Amino acid sequence: MIGRFAPSPTGPLHFGSLVAALASYLEVKSIKNSQGLWLVRMEDLDKPRETKGAADDILRTLEAFGFAWDGAIMYQSQRTEAYEDALEKLKANTYSCTCSRREIADSALQGIDGLIYSGICRAKANPNINQQHAIRIKVLDRNISFNDAIQGNISQNLARDIGDFVLKRADNIFAYQLAAVVDDDAQAVTHIVRGADLLNSTPRQIYLQQLLGYAQTDYMHLPIAINSQGEKLSKQTLAKPIVAKNAPELIVKALQFLGQSPPHQLLSSSIDEIFAWAKQNWQGALVPKKIA
Ligand SMILES: [Zn+2]
């Protein structure tokens, strides 16, 4: 089993990131799966959105919280060639889109994850590609289904729910959907464990895996950590960074969040003792779908 944790260096780790790191780690490192590898990938494609020093800060925080990753860190900013190759392989199914934001907004319907692009450029024989343009992939009017370890059976029709989606943006930045799929394959990831905010992205990623001839991965989408206002913890909602001096308490809290029942005395234990308990007792089947 190969799992991974893939943070974006847009800010420090918060409780929601700790939950994702811990669950992805325990899924491949618990006693029953002790042969597993846990990889870390830095999703630093969007340089303008990056916070200086955040990538190193994230790695130091992971270490301080007792995580040890296998192999070298993969940095998406160094993977442009691999994404270009994948784009080339997908060429028969892609097209250039010269639409402005305004044109897209005027013609699109609201979908389950943003606007559904109406496909204006799909029909253009010779789009003006000297102009700034994005690359989109043609989607099909059929269901893509998968069985998520926590969320159950998920089905989406990309044509109806999403529309032809972007693989490379007009500013030449590769889209998250393509980069994640190419990297998961390159890293031979078998178990993707991440927040349920990415559940809607998964059928797009499965579609790309199919077109690129990659193996399909297993999925586990975790409940989302929210603040007292009911907002998802993120940099945008000003989630508090996690700090090393509270590591034991926060790891125990994350285990509880994930439906596990760590004994009370773990709160006064060392990080090593907490990880030892967690590896011994981890049960992925106990993770709740949602936080009530
Ligand atoms: Zn267009």
Sheet with 134-137: strands ordered across:
94-97, 134-137, 165-168
Give residue 95 CA to ligand 1 midpoint distance, Å. 9
Residue with tokens 């990131």: 17
- Global pTM reads 0.94
Are 135 and 168 in contact by the 8 Å Cβ rule? The answer is yes
Contact 189, 3 (CB under 8 A): yes
| 97 Cα: distance to centroid of ligand 1 (angstroms) | 4
CA of 285 to the centre of ligand 1 (A): 43
Report the separation in Å between the CA atom of 103 and the middle of ligand 1, taken as the mean of its atom positions. 8
CA distance 169 to 87: 12
Task: Give the closest residue to 17 by CA, choosing from 176, 251, 205, 291.
Answer: 251
Ion ligand 1, residue ranges at CB < 5 A: 97, 99, 120-121
Q: How far is the CA of 119 from the centre of ligand 1 (A)?
A: 6
pLDDT digit string, tens, across residues 43-97: 999 888 898 999 999 999 999 999 999 999 999 999 999 999 999 999 999 999 9
Q: How far is CA 175 from CA 43, 132, 134, 146, 206, in A?
A: 11, 16, 10, 22, 15
What are φ and ψ of residue 241, in 5° steps? -65, 145
Cα 198 from chain centre: 6
Q: What angle do CA 240, 256, 269 make, to 5 degrees?
A: 85
At 165-195, the pLDDT tens digits run 999 999 999 999 999 999 999 999 999 999 9
Quickly list DSSP for 143-206.
EEEEEETTTEEEEEEHHHHTBSEEEE-TTSPBPHHHHHHHHHHHTT--EEEEEGGGGGGHHHHH
Q: Distances in Å between the alpha carbon of 265 and those of 101, 245, 257, 269, 278?
A: 55, 18, 17, 7, 13
115 vs 15, 120, 166, 262, CA distance in Å? 30, 14, 12, 43
Structure tokens given for 173: 């930045």
Distance 232 CA to ligand 1 centre (A): 31
What's the 49 CA to ligand 1 centre distance in angstroms? Answer: 24
Report angle CA 257, 262, 263 to the nearest 5 degrees: 140
* Full pLDDT tens readout for the chain, 292 residues: 999 999 999 999 999 999 999 999 999 999 887 789 999 999 999 888 898 999 999 999 999 999 999 999 999 999 999 999 999 999 999 999 998 888 888 877 888 888 888 888 988 866 666 778 999 999 999 999 999 999 999 999 999 999 999 999 999 999 999 999 999 999 999 999 999 999 999 999 999 999 999 999 999 999 998 877 778 877 777 778 999 999 999 999 999 999 999 999 999 999 999 999 999 999 999 999 987 6
Cβ atoms 248, 267 nearer than 8 A:
yes
Between the CA of 133 and the centroid of ligand 1 the distance, in Å, is 8
5 three-class SS: strand
